[in-house]
């Protein structure tokens, strides 16, 4: 592993705990303020290496140079992806223990700001090779744990997913912190800033924002919502817990398969459940009609209806939990299998109550 420190004779080996922590929330929610405080605290109290990448600090200057007009959303998207590419170059250097090279196609101003951002946090050093677009990593960059905090609005789930994919590609820890702050407070804080974001942008974002949703998206399970007020010690503990969990449980490629399988299972079982529910209802009412036609005594009719409805509920409950007894193969549940199984059990019950009045 070659680092700037190695050049001075130091050696750097150790557990490769690297994590990406994504901050999201409305403009003015206090993300940058929080990121600064958190990184300071983690460095001081835990001795972690921390890098904060505040997108606003790196991206706008690129536009000042390349375009005077306000960028279109599609341009922002491309720039965000380009910045993520820079991060990937840094991560590759960290993981492989080599120097960080510059990506071949890059927006000069943004790359420069990115390098300044890393240098200011003692993650890369000026090196003699700098003229050739190579940067040596510092001792901080190769020490562990290393946490990179990405500070942007990340108001769409798709924006956050790009970061998750990066974490997965390199088996890194991944977590999300959502800074919860009322629209009024964001507008008020924003209004007091020298370079305020247009208020209508904040209104629009408040309407569009997709908060982390761990129930819906398995990949977002490592997320925490915190209030944008001065951090209580309890909130601070929760944040540390989230970060430790992420660092100790790097994202694995396999998770995607599990996630996909789980999604498939839910879609499949939802469809199966719906179809099964409809069909079983029809079978029960048809069976009851036949029993009446056969003049089953009213008392038995009542018991028969109770038993059939109970059986139907049990079947649906089992299906909901993926009970394997209806599976013809290990993976797929067919409604036809469920129905024939139900018919079999239903016939047994019908037989019990089919005695006609004497
Ligand atoms: N907890 C807080 N209490 C009061 N004021 C705060 C708090 N957090 C941040 N602020 C103030 O609100 C303003 C916006 O904060 P900050 O830049 O951290 O927000 P942000 O979410 O990073 O915004 P943006 O997304 O636009 O970069 C700053 O002037 C900051 O001093």
Atom of ligand 1 minimally distant from the CA of 152? 25
Atom of ligand 1 minimally distant from the CA of 25? 21
The pLDDT tens digits of the residues spanning 134-177 come to 889 999 998 889 999 999 999 999 899 999 999 999 999 999 99
User: What domains lie within the chain, and their CATH numbers?
Assistant: 4-251 (3.40.50.300), 258-353 (no CATH)
Residue 150: per-residue pLDDT: 98
Q: Does the model's ipTM exceed the 0.90 cut?
A: yes
- Asked if the model's pLDDT at residue 13 lies above 50, the reply is no
Give exposure, 148-175, as e/b (b: 16+ Cβ within 10 Å): bbbbbbbbebebbeebbebbbebebbbb
Q: Is the CB of 177 under 6 A from ligand 1?
A: no
How far does the centroid of ligand 1 lie from the alpha carbon of residue 41, in Å?
A: 18
How many other CB atoms are found less than 10 A from the CB of residue 354? Answer: 14
Per-position DSSP letters for 295-358, written without gaps between them = T--HHHHHHHHHHHHHHHHHHHHHHHTT-GGG-SSSS---HHHHHHHHHHHHHHHHHHH-PPP-
Residue 255: per-residue pLDDT: 52
Q: Is the CB of 28 under 6 A from ligand 1?
A: yes
């Amino acid at each position: 592993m070659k680092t700037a420190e190695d050049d001075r004779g130091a050696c750097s080996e150790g557990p490769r705990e690297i994590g990406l922590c994504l901050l999201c929330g409305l403009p003015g929610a206090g993300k940058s303020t929080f990121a600064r405080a958190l990184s300071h605290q983690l460095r001081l109290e835990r001795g972690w290496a921390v890098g904060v990448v505040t997108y606003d600090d790196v991206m706008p200057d690129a536009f000042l140079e390349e375009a005077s007009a306000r960028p279109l959303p599609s341009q922002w998207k491309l720039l965000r992806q380009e910045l993520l590419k820079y991060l990937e170059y840094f991560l590759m250097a960290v993981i492989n223990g080599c120097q960080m090279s510059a990506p071949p196609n890059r927006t000069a101003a943004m790359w420069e700001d990115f390098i300044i951002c890393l240098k200011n946090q003692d993650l890369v050093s000026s090196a003699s090779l700098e003229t050739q677009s190579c940067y040596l990593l510092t001792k901080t960059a190769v020490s562990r744990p290393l946490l990179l905090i990405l500070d942007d609005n990340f108001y769409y789930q798709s924006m956050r997913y790009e970061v998750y994919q990066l974490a997965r590609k390199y088996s890194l820890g991944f977590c999300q912190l959502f800074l919860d702050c009322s629209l009024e407070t964001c507008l008020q804080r924003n209004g007091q800033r020298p370079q305020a974001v247009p208020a209508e942008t904040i209104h629009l974002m408040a309407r569009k924002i997709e908060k982390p949703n761990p129930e819906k998206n398995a990949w977002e399970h490592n997320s925490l919502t915190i209030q944008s007020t001065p951090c209580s010690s309890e909130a601070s503990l929760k944040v540390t817990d989230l970060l430790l969990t992420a660092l100790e449980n790097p994202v694995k490629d396999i998770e995607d398969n599990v996630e996909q399988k789980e999604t498939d299972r839910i879609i499949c079982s939802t469809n199966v459940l719906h179809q099964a529910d409809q069909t079983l209802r029809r079978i029960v009412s048809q069976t009851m009609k036949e029993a009446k036609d056969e003049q089953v005594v009213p008392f038995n009719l009542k018991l028969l209806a109770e038993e059939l409805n109970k059986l139907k509920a049990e079947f649906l409950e089992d299906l909901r939990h993926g009970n394997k007894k209806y599976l013809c193969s290990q993976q797929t549940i067919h409604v036809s299998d469920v129905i024939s199984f139900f018919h079999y059990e239903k016939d047994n019950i019908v037989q019990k109550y089919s005695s006609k009045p004497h």
